Structure 1
């Protein structure tokens, strides 16, 4: 880059430490499509808190209610959830406010999954005809 330009100016403090860059609106208009993705990625590395929160889907309560409507297991439905990863637990996930566990999935095959609000682990409750098994899988960031 040229040292002096009305479109690109590197800014330094008195000690010569880089403080920033000024880009003219005209230069930004020409290069923002190519530069913005790289800047955004670098920004998320420097300041993870600037990353937008992922959109939270509503809980599939209708699927849970459908499972209850067709419940033919030899034991009553259980509403308690426990996370082996962080130790969070609740006697009734539906009554918590705020939720300690969010319902992620429920199906007629008897698989019900929850996500722990504390550590984001996945808690799987597998309902079989005569028994229930529970698994806890730690959260894995896919980013």
Structure 2
């Protein structure tokens, strides 16, 4: 004998913290008109729980590690330019206010930055004898 599905299911994460409720289609059809205005009103109330996430910290330690093991045939360069909006700097580390934000750096010689003016992604790939730079336009994924 099969058990009919529950009209709603409480959802919990691995540590048994309550994370939400799943309402079955039959129950939703019967309660939608009463519940929807309450949900919409609650979504418009200001709350501290729903605040925009701060961007993660720049991985400056990773960049410093790259510099510590630098073995390329040229000195490190700190200049950046955005091909999308034209923003540029001679030293991204010293700008105040910042024009570019470091998003990743690794020992393979690749560094990535975000242009704070237009949110494009600038990728500098450091090879033994040269640097290649790519600028990718921002794409909204929503």
Q: TM-score range by the shorter chain?
A: 0.5 to 0.7
Normalising by structure 1, we get a TM-score of 0.66
Give the equivalent residue in structure 2 for 1:74.
Answer: 73
Q: Give RMSD over aligned pairs.
A: 2.5
Runs of 5+ consecutive residues of structure 2 not aligned to the other structure: 1-33, 45-49
**Stretches of structure 1 lacking an aligned partner (at least 5 in a row):** 1-29, 44-50
TM-score by length of 2: 0.66
In structure 2, C-alpha distance between the alignment counterparts of 1:54 and 1:137, rounded to whole Å: 23
Q: Distance in 1 between matches of 2:115 and 2:53?
A: 16
Question: Within 5 A, what are the aligned runs for 1:1-143?
Answer: 31=35, 35-36=39-40, 40=43, 53-143=52-142
Q: Which runs of 4+ in 1 moved over 6 A?
A: none
Aligned positions, number: 104
Deviations 1:69-97 (A, max 9, x none): 00000000000000000000000000011
